Amino acid sequence: MLNPPKVTEAAFQRQVLALAKLTGWRTAHFRPAMNARGDWRTPVAGDGKGFPDLLLVRGGKLLAVELKTDRGVLSPEQREWRDALQAAGVDWRLWRPRMWSEIEATLKGESS
């Protein structure tokens, strides 16, 4: 039996964003840019390090989504954002490629 191909986080993110748009969600993702030293950074101020990959809004629902490969782990800053957002009542999710059926159901409004 062959192993399924590994999905990169970038490809997974494109898939999630495409499905979110198709199912009527407003989406936000902040892309990194190369600075003058040639380093890739996401320009943010304040406590931006570890901020979720996506914010999705439809109707009265807000999702903060962290995307990881099937083996990826949350950084300490990502865990801090998760905890702070959940404490504020935000629906925070960790999504992985292997969770595609759950992601589809959530974005189509078939589950919460």
Residues 50 and 75 sit within 8 Å (Cβ to Cβ): yes
Amino acid letter, residue 77: E
Domain boundaries, the chain: 9-32+50-108
Q: Which CATH class for the 9-32+50-108 domain?
A: alpha beta
| pTM of the complete model | 0.84
pLDDT, averaged in runs of 10, over the chain (112 residues): 70 96 95 69 72 96 96 96 98 97 94 56
C-alpha–C-alpha distance, residues 85 and 60, integer Å: 16
